[in-house]
């Protein structure tokens, strides 16, 4: 019996393939194998012999199984290593599946600024692109015979409506909707009836902002604009105000920033002045407040308009405004 076991252990040890090893296992450890047969024969033995046989079988079984497992896992390791090696892949070939698309650069900058304002407690509002003359002009203190209407060439529609020439009418809608105190911005598409060339478009994007509260000052406005522009341009921005005329604010300002290209020394971008005109702003004209149902003796505020299209062009150094409405994927896929 011991010989049988020894020879089986030897065959396990010398097995060259998985099949050889399996053959030994079936022959010795299988259901009809040698050890099973020895167990079956135990009925014919005396009680003492059965005890000795039982011990022998268990010991042999443990020894054989251990030898088998060692050998088997050796074969498995080799086989796995071979498979893994055969599965070599070149991962430098192009990726598959659909590549991600892109948001329009205007959308991207709009979201960025919306998020910035929301973090400062501003509500983001939309207004219609087709406006009434009242909301686009009269409510903003620009009556029909006002020369300021010349500043904004207007597309007129049949039915007496117009395409909004600025996002400022959303100020009026926002005041009507939210009431004071309020902090709001209104981004969107605006229209001016002017010929299109590399730097002029009849369709472009603006962002209007407004804050109405008690005792809002020019100092608050400059603080806010400085904070905002520093966040947008991701570097400390120096601003200055100078007089500007817009009928819906009083006083009205043009806000300039110190040229980000030359730092104020003078360069072609700032036309050697060291400053770049960026946005119009001012304290909200009491007439505008009153027309929107807000008592100017109790409330006041500031308003500003930011050119989103201009900001996109500045950020990405886009030299021709027409790319933005071109729908050309050679351009759009870059964003």
Partner 1 sequence: MKFSYNWIRSLVDGLDAPAESLERLITMKTAECEGIELAGELLAGAVPAKVESVEAIPGGKHVVKAIVDAGKYGRKTVVCGAPNCRAGITTVYVPLGNKSIAGVLSEGMLASASELGISRDHEGIIELTGSDELPPTDHVIEIDNKSITHRPDLWGHHGMAREVAAITGKALRDPVNLSVLPAQGSPIKVEIEDLALCPRYSALVFENVTVQPSPLWMQHRLTSVGLNPISNIVDLTNYIMAELAQPMHAFDRSKLTGDTIYARPARDGETIVALNDETYTLAPSNVVIADGAGPIAIAGIIGGRDSAISDTTTSIVLESANFNAGNVRKSSVALKLRTDASMRFEKSQDPLNTVRALARALELLPLISPGIRLVGGLADRSAELTSPAPLDLNLDWLARKLGRVLDAAEVRRILESLQFGVTESGPRSFSVSIPSWRATKDVAMPDDLVEEVGRMIGYDSIVPTPPLVPCAPSFDPPEREFLRSVRRLVTARGYNEVSNYSFISEESARRFGLSVEDHVRVLNPIAAGQELMRTSLLPGIHGNIVENAKHFDEFRLFEIGHEIHKTAAKPEERPHIMAALYAKAAANSQDALLELKRLAESLAPGLHVRPAQPHSWEHPARCAELWWQGRAVGRLSELHPTLVDAGRAAVLDLDLALLQELKPERGKYKPVRRFPVSAFDLSVIADARELAANLEIHIRQYAGELMEAVEYVREFQGAPLPEGRKSVTFRIVAGAPDRTLSSPETTALYDHIVAGLTELGYAFRA
Residue 268 in the binding site for partner 1 (CB under 8 A):
no
Using CB under 8 A, pick the residue from 30, 54, 128, 307 that binds partner 1: 128
Q: How far is residue 8 from each of residues 19, 22, 230, measured CA to CA in Å?
A: 15, 12, 83
Q: Does residue 310 bind partner 1 (CB under 8 A)?
A: no
**Least distance CB 307 / partner 1 (angstroms):** 16
What's the closest the beta carbon of residue 317 comes to partner 1, in angstroms?
19
Binding range to partner 1, per CB under 8 A, among 4-12, 22-30, 46-54, 99-107: 99-107
Compute the CA torsion angle 195, 197, 200, 201 (nearest 10 deg): 70
Query: For partner 1, which residue of 26, 52, 196, 269 counts as binding (CB under 8 A)?
Result: 196
Q: How far is the CB of 332 from partner 1 (least distance, A)?
A: 5
Q: Does 235 bind partner 1 (CB under 8 A)?
A: no
Give burial (CB, 10 Å; 0-12/13-18/19+) of 279. buried
Q: For the residues of 219-250, what is the DSSP string, one character each?
A: HHHHHHHHHHHHHHHTS---EEEEE---TTEE
Shortest Å, Cβ 37 to partner 1: 41
Subset of 158-187 contacting partner 1 (CB under 8 A): 158-159, 161, 163, 178, 181, 183
Judged by CB under 8 A, the chain residues 101 through 120 that form the site for partner 1 are 101-104, 106-107, 111, 118
Residues belonging to the chain? 335
The residue within the footprint of partner 1, chosen from 33, 54, 266, 286 (CB under 8 A), is: 286
Instruction: Tell me how far apart the alpha carbons of residues 154 and 130 are, in angstroms, rounded to a whole number.
Output: 11
Strand partners, 206: 188, 307
Q: Is 6 in the site for partner 1 (CB under 8 A)?
A: no
Return d(Cα 199, Cα 307) in angstroms, integer.
13
Q: Rule CB under 8 A: say whether 242 interacts with partner 1.
A: yes
């Amino acid at each position: 019996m011991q010989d049988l076991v020894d020879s089986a252990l030897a065959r396990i040890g010398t097995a060259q393939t998985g099949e050889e090893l399996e053959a030994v296992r079936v022959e010795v450890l299988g259901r009809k194998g040698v050890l099973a047969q020895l167990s079956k024969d135990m009925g014919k033995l005396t009680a003492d012999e059965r005890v000795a046989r039982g011990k022998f079988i268990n010991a042999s079984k443990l020894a054989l199984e251990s030898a088998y497992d060692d050998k088997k896992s050796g074969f498995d390791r080799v086989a796995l290593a071979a498979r893994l090696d055969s599965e070599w892949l070149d991962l430098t070939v192009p990726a598959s599946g659909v590549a991600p698309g892109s948001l329009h650069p205007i959308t991207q900058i709009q979201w960025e600024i919306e998020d910035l304002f929301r973090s400062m407690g501003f509500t983001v509002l939309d207004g219609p692109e087709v406006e009434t003359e009242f909301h686009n002009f009269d409510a903003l203190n620009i009556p029909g015979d006002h020369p300021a209407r010349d500043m904004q060439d207007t597309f007129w529609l049949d039915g007496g409506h117009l395409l909004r020439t600025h996002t400022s009418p959303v100020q009026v809608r926002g005041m009507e909707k939210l009431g004071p105190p309020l902090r709001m911005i209104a981004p969107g598409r605006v229209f001016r009836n002017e010929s299109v060339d590399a730097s002029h478009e009849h369709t472009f994007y603006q962002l209007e902002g407004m804050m109405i509260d008690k005792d809002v000052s020019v100092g608050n406005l400059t603080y806010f604009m400085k904070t905002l522009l520093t966040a947008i341009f991701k570097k400390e921005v120096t601003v200055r105000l100078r007089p500007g005329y817009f009928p819906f604010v009083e006083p009205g300002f043009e806000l300039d920033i110190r040229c980000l290209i030359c730092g104020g020394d003078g360069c072609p971008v700032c036309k050697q002045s060291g400053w770049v005109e960026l946005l119009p702003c001012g304290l909200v004209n009491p007439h505008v407040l009153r027309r929107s149902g807000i008592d100017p003796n109790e409330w006041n505020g500031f308003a500003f308009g930011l050119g989103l299209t201009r900001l996109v062009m500045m950020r990405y150094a886009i030299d021709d405004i027409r790319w933005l409405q071109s729908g050309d994927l050679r351009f759009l896929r870059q964003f």
